[in-house]
Amino acid sequence: MTEKFTPHTREEKIEALGRVLDVLDTLRVKCPWDAKQTNESLRPNTVEEVFELCDALIKEDNAEIRKELGDVL
């Protein structure tokens, strides 16, 4: 069953993006794996995660779409 999409306000979207940026900053400083990543080292994982996102989109599985979008980001 597909969940009904409820749009968020502009303020909610800005706040959510701010939280994403905070997480990225924290990971870059505190996570050794994240800190050593380069564009080249991320490429294979990114391709794999995008394929997984595509599968979730084809299945219209919103929970899996959310998960895979998180992995891609």
User: pLDDT tens digit string along 29-61?
Assistant: 999 988 898 999 999 999 999 999 999 999 999
Question: What is the count of structural domains for the chain?
Answer: 1
Question: What value does the mean pLDDT take over residues 2-10?
Answer: 81
Angstrom CA distances, 69 to 1, 8, 32, stand at: 19, 17, 23
Does some domain include residue 3? no
Residue position matching structure tokens 């749009």: 7
Sign, CA torsion 7/62/24/51: negative
Mean pLDDT of the chain: 91
Alpha-carbon span 26 to 57, nearest angstrom: 30
Say if residue 24's pLDDT is above 90: no
Does some domain include residue 56? yes
> Which pLDDT belongs to residue 28?
86
Name the pLDDT band for 2 (thresholds 50, 70, 90).
low
Does some domain include residue 5? no
**What's phi and psi for 24, nearest 5 deg?**
-60, -45
Does some domain include residue 4? no
Does some domain include residue 1? no
Does the pTM of the predicted model rise above 0.85? no
